[in-house]
Protein backbone atom coordinates (compact mmCIF):
# COMPACT_ATOMS: atom_id res chain seq x y z
CA UNK A 1 0.00 0.00 0.00
CA UNK A 2 1.13 3.54 -0.77
CA UNK A 3 -0.20 6.59 1.14
CA UNK A 4 0.49 10.33 0.75
CA UNK A 5 -0.42 13.05 3.25
CA UNK A 6 -0.65 16.51 1.67
CA UNK A 7 -0.96 20.06 3.04
CA UNK A 8 0.03 23.46 1.68
CA UNK A 9 3.79 23.84 2.26
CA UNK A 10 4.78 20.47 3.77
CA UNK A 11 6.40 22.01 6.83
CA UNK A 12 3.69 21.74 9.54
CA UNK A 13 0.61 19.53 9.24
CA UNK A 14 1.53 16.89 6.68
CA UNK A 15 5.01 16.21 8.08
CA UNK A 16 3.54 15.91 11.58
CA UNK A 17 1.01 13.44 10.17
CA UNK A 18 3.72 11.54 8.30
CA UNK A 19 5.87 11.14 11.43
CA UNK A 20 2.97 10.03 13.64
CA UNK A 21 1.35 7.79 11.04
CA UNK A 22 4.71 6.12 10.30
CA UNK A 23 5.16 5.49 14.02
CA UNK A 24 1.67 3.97 14.28
CA UNK A 25 2.04 1.86 11.12
CA UNK A 26 5.38 0.46 12.29
CA UNK A 27 3.95 -0.23 15.75
CA UNK A 28 1.13 -2.22 14.15
CA UNK A 29 3.55 -4.28 12.07
CA UNK A 30 2.58 -2.44 8.88
CA UNK A 31 6.08 -1.23 8.08
CA UNK A 32 5.65 -2.28 4.44
CA UNK A 33 3.19 0.57 3.84
CA UNK A 34 4.94 3.28 1.81
CA UNK A 35 4.21 6.72 3.25
CA UNK A 36 5.15 10.20 2.06
CA UNK A 37 4.10 13.75 2.81
CA UNK A 38 4.10 16.68 0.41
CA UNK A 39 2.82 20.19 -0.11
CA UNK A 40 0.70 21.57 -2.91
CA UNK A 41 3.19 24.45 -3.08
CA UNK A 42 6.91 24.01 -3.57
CA UNK A 43 8.37 27.10 -1.93
CA UNK A 44 9.68 25.12 1.09
CA UNK A 45 11.08 22.19 -0.93
CA UNK A 46 14.21 20.78 0.70
CA UNK A 47 13.64 22.53 4.03
CA UNK A 48 13.21 20.90 7.43
CA UNK A 49 9.79 21.07 9.02
CA UNK A 50 8.76 24.18 10.93
CA UNK A 51 10.73 24.37 14.19
CA UNK A 52 7.51 24.58 16.23
CA UNK A 53 6.11 21.45 14.55
CA UNK A 54 9.39 19.65 15.18
CA UNK A 55 9.48 20.78 18.83
CA UNK A 56 5.89 19.58 19.37
CA UNK A 57 6.73 16.17 17.91
CA UNK A 58 9.96 15.91 19.88
CA UNK A 59 8.19 16.83 23.12
CA UNK A 60 5.70 14.00 22.44
CA UNK A 61 8.48 11.46 21.84
CA UNK A 62 8.63 11.41 18.03
CA UNK A 63 11.67 11.94 15.79
CA UNK A 64 11.09 14.86 13.38
CA UNK A 65 14.64 15.09 12.01
CA UNK A 66 14.41 13.06 8.79
CA UNK A 67 11.73 15.19 7.15
CA UNK A 68 12.52 17.42 4.17
CA UNK A 69 9.70 19.28 2.43
CA UNK A 70 8.71 18.28 -1.08
CA UNK A 71 6.02 19.25 -3.55
CA UNK A 72 3.16 17.05 -4.74
CA UNK A 73 3.15 15.00 -6.84
CA UNK A 74 5.84 12.71 -5.49
CA UNK A 75 6.34 10.24 -8.32
CA UNK A 76 3.29 9.04 -10.25
CA UNK A 77 0.11 10.14 -8.44
CA UNK A 78 -1.78 7.15 -9.85
CA UNK A 79 0.43 4.72 -7.90
CA UNK A 80 -0.98 5.91 -4.56
CA UNK A 81 -3.76 3.94 -2.96
CA UNK A 82 -4.69 6.81 -0.69
CA UNK A 83 -3.99 10.54 -0.83
CA UNK A 84 -5.05 12.36 2.33
CA UNK A 85 -5.60 16.13 2.17
CA UNK A 86 -5.25 18.09 5.39
CA UNK A 87 -7.96 20.64 4.53
CA UNK A 88 -10.65 21.44 1.95
CA UNK A 89 -8.37 23.81 0.01
CA UNK A 90 -5.74 21.08 -0.29
CA UNK A 91 -8.46 18.65 -1.39
CA UNK A 92 -9.55 21.06 -4.15
CA UNK A 93 -5.92 21.58 -5.23
CA UNK A 94 -5.44 17.82 -5.50
CA UNK A 95 -8.55 17.18 -7.63
CA UNK A 96 -7.48 15.30 -10.72
CA UNK A 97 -4.00 14.65 -9.27
CA UNK A 98 -4.83 11.52 -7.30
CA UNK A 99 -6.13 8.06 -8.14
CA UNK A 100 -9.86 7.67 -8.76
CA UNK A 101 -11.52 7.11 -5.39
CA UNK A 102 -8.25 7.42 -3.50
CA UNK A 103 -8.44 11.11 -2.56
CA UNK A 104 -9.89 11.83 0.87
CA UNK A 105 -9.64 14.24 3.75
CA UNK A 106 -7.17 13.18 6.45
CA UNK A 107 -9.80 13.53 9.16
CA UNK A 108 -12.44 11.44 7.37
CA UNK A 109 -11.63 8.70 9.92
CA UNK A 110 -11.23 11.00 12.93
CA UNK A 111 -13.31 9.50 15.77
CA UNK A 112 -14.25 13.05 16.81
CA UNK A 113 -15.61 13.82 13.36
CA UNK A 114 -14.43 14.90 9.93
CA UNK A 115 -13.16 18.34 9.01
CA UNK A 116 -10.04 20.32 8.29
CA UNK A 117 -6.79 19.99 10.17
CA UNK A 118 -6.25 23.69 10.94
CA UNK A 119 -3.00 25.27 9.78
CA UNK A 120 -1.05 26.22 12.93
CA UNK A 121 1.61 28.21 11.06
CA UNK A 122 0.45 31.70 12.05
CA UNK A 123 -0.47 30.78 15.62
CA UNK A 124 1.30 29.70 18.76
CA UNK A 125 2.34 26.44 20.37
CA UNK A 126 -1.23 25.51 21.33
CA UNK A 127 -2.18 25.23 17.65
CA UNK A 128 0.62 22.73 17.06
CA UNK A 129 -0.48 20.68 20.09
CA UNK A 130 -4.06 20.72 18.77
CA UNK A 131 -2.88 19.48 15.38
CA UNK A 132 -0.82 16.73 17.04
CA UNK A 133 -3.85 15.52 19.02
CA UNK A 134 -5.96 15.38 15.82
CA UNK A 135 -3.18 13.61 13.94
CA UNK A 136 -2.61 11.02 16.69
CA UNK A 137 -6.24 9.95 17.08
CA UNK A 138 -6.85 9.99 13.31
CA UNK A 139 -3.64 8.05 12.63
CA UNK A 140 -4.83 5.34 15.02
CA UNK A 141 -8.07 5.08 13.04
CA UNK A 142 -6.24 5.07 9.70
CA UNK A 143 -3.96 2.26 10.88
CA UNK A 144 -6.95 0.23 12.08
CA UNK A 145 -8.60 0.71 8.68
CA UNK A 146 -5.45 -0.27 6.77
CA UNK A 147 -4.95 -3.35 8.97
CA UNK A 148 -8.56 -4.51 8.57
CA UNK A 149 -8.38 -4.12 4.78
CA UNK A 150 -5.48 -6.55 4.53
CA UNK A 151 -6.15 -10.09 3.34
CA UNK A 152 -6.57 -12.47 6.26
CA UNK A 153 -7.66 -9.74 8.67
Instruction: Decide if 66 is catalytic.
Output: no
Catalytic residue among 7, 23, 87, 107: 7
Instruction: Decide if 12 is catalytic.
Output: no
Catalytic residue among 87, 110, 119, 140: 119
Distance CA 37, CA 8 (A): 11
Distance CA 61, CA 41 (A): 29
Query: Which residues, including other chains, have CB under 8 Å from residue 42's CB and lie 6 or more apart?
Result: 70, 71
The alpha helices in 1-153, defined as continuous H runs, are 13-27, 51-59, 88-94, 125-149
Catalytic residue among 12, 13, 23, 87: 13
Instruction: Decide if 119 is catalytic.
Output: yes
Indicate the SS3 state at residue 71.
Answer: strand
Which residues are known to be catalytic? 7, 13, 119
Amino acid sequence: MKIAVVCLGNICRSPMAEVVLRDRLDGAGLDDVELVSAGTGGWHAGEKMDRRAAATLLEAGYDPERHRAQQWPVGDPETYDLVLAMDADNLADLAGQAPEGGLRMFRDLDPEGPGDVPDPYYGGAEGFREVLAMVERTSDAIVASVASARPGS
